[in-house]
Amino acid sequence: MSPSILIVGATGNTGRSVTETLSGFLEASKTLSNHRVLALTRSKESEPAQHIAKLPGVEVIEQNWVEITADWLRKHEVERAFIASHNQPNQFAEESNFHLAALLAGVKYVVRISTTAANVRPDSKAYYPRSHWAVESMLSTPEFEKLQWTSLQPNVFSTLVLSPAAEFIKQYRKDGKQQTLKLMNSPDAPVGIIDPYDVGYLAARLLSQDDPSTHNRAKYVLNGPEDITGEGIVELIEGYIGTKVEHVVFKDTSFIEQMAEEATDSKHLILSIKEAPVTAWEGKCTSSTTSKEIFDIAAPKSTPSEVLKMLLGE
């Protein structure tokens, strides 16, 4: 068995691009050419899992990451790892357990996905940014000094923001009728929404560094290459449908209420997610906040118009 780079959530929003990119990078690496990519998934039979299984140097394994132990990591000779944790109320307990296992197993470097930088603070009204703050604070302690890590703090994903726009366009093309357009954005606050594929590509670049120590304990802020407002999204839609959008609801968080209704417990915490977009509405999440180091590693490239086109299958 050869040493491995573990990808938790290899078929997810960011994990898939991490896996695809690493597969192409490792062969050319000075220090990692003998490594394999260990891609975790909940089902090896899914289409995304079957796709990445065909990539050079990738081994797909069905494994629930929250059950990973130090012994499991040693057995699979994991030297580096990527993790994009869930954002459920028990996130801190489960993700911190993963990092502890990595520390005890002697894993050398971990790249993790955090959340919007303006929200990662101990007094965030939304619960899950507090969990990310707690994980980053834990990793920053002297006790975790032997585990090198980088935390990526991406802005809201453009696929999430633009999915209602894509569905609106598809429905209009189908029957010529307009439903009410519901957007998370405010009408006028610019936001640097980011393509999750760009986030994964950056993570892969970090994981494939011959010496990642330059990025140890770094918290990098990630935004897309350009800002867009709610009104800007409406303009993109109108360019596709050739007419004015008749009814728009900005600052829509009704989907979070639906999430809370479907939750079996901690409904009040789920509802607190409605506070997460407030920093964006206040203009604190523009592309100008991107960490300068990112431009030397892998600057995000996908613009809102390009992501919308992709969501439309064009």
All structural domains of the chain with their residue ranges:
4-154+196-222, 158-192+224-286+301-311
pLDDT at 251: 98
Beta bridge partners of 154: 222
Q: Does domain 158-192+224-286+301-311 have CATH number 3.90.25?
A: yes
For the domain made up of 4-154+196-222, the CATH class stated in words is: alpha beta
pLDDT score recorded for residue 33: 84
Please report the pLDDT score of residue 215 as a whole number.
98
The predicted pLDDT at position 43 comes to 86
Q: What per-residue confidence (pLDDT) applies to 309?
A: 98
- Residues in the chain with pLDDT < 70? none
pLDDT given for residue 29 in this prediction: 81
pLDDT at residue 32, as a whole number: 86
pLDDT for position 28: 79
For residue 42, the model assigns a pLDDT of 87
Q: What is the model's pTM?
A: 0.95
> What is the average pLDDT value for the chain, to the nearest integer?
96
